[in-house]
Amino acid sequence: MSGDFTTVLAAVTCGTVVAVAEPVAIPLLRRAAAIDMPGHRSSHVVPTPRGGGAPVAAGLVAASVLIGGEIATAFGVTVAAFSLIGLTEDLDGLSAACRLALQAAAGTLIGLVLVSTLPVPVLALAVLGGLTAAWITGFVNAFNFMDGVNGISGAHALIGGACFALLGWWAGGGFLVPAGAALAASALAFLPWNAGRARVFLGDVGSYALGAGLGVLAAYAVIGGIPVEAALGPLALYLADTGWTLQRRIRAGERPFEPHRTHTYQRWTDAGWSHQRVTAVTAALTVLLSLLGAASLTGSAPLRALCDLAGAVVTADAPEQQQLLGASDTGRL
């Protein structure tokens, strides 16, 4: 199959799987009692089924089969593995230690596959494979942490998938183009079920699937020679929010991984922003960061440095705005 046809087929198939399977999955999730009940950490007030990302995972796996090849196979296996971990968490729950161990095992597989073609000694390959596995596992969890308001993760996955498809096109084609297009299509097909009045949540199964997909594509892009800024631009906001929140909690003497609701996007909803406004603002910032990262593709060192600085300012400003909103909230109490 030609590259263009493969891309279209993978994207259409992935989107169709999600669109067809989602209305079937929702009553099954209700029957399985996979319901997210509102609590003090929630940003919603209505009991809502979780696990709606299962069709997203199925669509990505189907797309990987159609794309074909070693990397696509490893991509599909990784998405499936992380998704099964997430589905188990949605339905039955897993201890943190067990969940992390399973995630690390899933990340190691794709990490070793991604670095296997690098012309470096075996020991270096093992180290790079471990670092890649740590990156994918870490980003999956960061993506999961950020999936807290309607539409936010679907919008970010849509932008990220489209960006990776474009980066693959810029690099001359290959795996990034159809995989990125399929990931964007899966997110686009899921958004109508979640972006407005959420009829279902991605759940861990969906956030793990999309997080793993984006993490793998970013690692593949960097290993393939695409500048780091371009590869991380679509992911930068999620990384920055998670990173700032963790370091702030550590400095405050809090347990960093204990459940909480102090992410920037959560504080924005506490300040009265609607889910749709939070999603729109964060999506716009992600587009901006993606464009700033893409400046690294121009070959102009001064422009690249200037855009890197601008990206750092953008990612640092959101936590500052969170603190201002928090102070404003305190003043109203």
Instruction: Locate 153 and state its tokens.
Output: 């993760």
- Helix then strand count (H, E) for the chain reads 13, 2
Q: Could you give the CA distance from residue 106 to residue 76 in angstroms, rounded to a whole number?
A: 11
The DSSP secondary structure of 138-160, one letter per residue, reads HHHHHHHHH--STTHHHHHHHHH
Please list the pLDDT of the chain residue by residue as tens digits (333 residues): 567 899 999 999 999 999 999 999 999 999 998 998 876 666 677 889 999 999 999 999 999 999 999 999 999 999 999 999 999 999 988 888 899 999 999 999 899 999 998 999 999 999 999 999 999 999 999 999 888 889 999 999 999 999 999 999 999 989 999 999 999 999 999 999 998 888 999 999 999 999 999 999 999 999 999 999 999 999 999 998 888 877 777 776 776 666 656 667 777 787 878 889 999 999 999 999 999 999 999 999 999 999 999 999 998 876 555 444 444 443 333
Q: What is the pLDDT of residue 217?
A: 98
CA 267 to chain centre: 20
Start-to-end Cα distance in the chain: 63
Q: What is the pLDDT of residue 248?
A: 74
212: how many CB neighbours lie within 10 A of its CB? 30
CA torsion 130→136→137→143, rounded to 10°?
160
Instruction: Locate 286 and state its tokens.
Output: 């992600």
Beta-carbon contacts of residue 233 (< 8 Å; ≥ 6 apart) = 163, 289, 290, 291, 292, 293, 294, 311
Contact 256, 246 (CB under 8 A): yes
The DSSP secondary structure of 1-21, one letter per residue, reads --HHHHHHHHHHHHHHHHHHH
Q: What is the pLDDT of residue 259?
A: 63
Q: Could you give the CA distance from residue 180 to residue 290 in angstroms, rounded to a whole number?
A: 14
Contact 212, 140 (CB under 8 A): yes
Q: Where in the sequence is the domain holding 76, given as residue range(s)?
A: 3-332
Q: Could you give the CA distance from residue 79 to residue 177 in angstroms, rounded to a whole number?
A: 17
Indicate the burial class of 179 (C-beta count within 10 angstroms; 0-12, 13-18, 19 or more). buried
CA 164 to chain centre: 13
Residue of 10, 15, 56, 18 lying closest to 209 (CA atoms): 56
Q: What is the pLDDT of residue 327?
A: 41
| CA dihedral for 150, 194, 143, 276, sign (positive or negative) | negative
Per the structure, the count of domains in the chain is: 1
- Tell me the pTM: 0.91
Mapping DSSP to helix (H, G, I), strand (E, B) and coil, where does residue 35 land? strand
Beta-carbon contacts of residue 85 (< 8 Å; ≥ 6 apart) = 94, 99, 102, 103, 106, 204, 208
Contact 207, 147 (CB under 8 A): yes
Taking phi first (over 0 means left), then psi (-120 to 50 degrees means alpha), and beta for anything else, what does residue 69 get? left
Q: Could you give the CA distance from residue 159 to residue 284 in angstroms, rounded to a whole number?
A: 10
Q: What is the pLDDT of residue 333?
A: 30
Mapping DSSP to helix (H, G, I), strand (E, B) and coil, where does residue 271 land? coil
Report CA-CA distances (Å) from 200 to 22, 26, 121, 331.
9, 7, 47, 35
Q: Which helix (H) or strand (E) holds 36?
A: strand 35-36
CA 79 to chain centre: 12
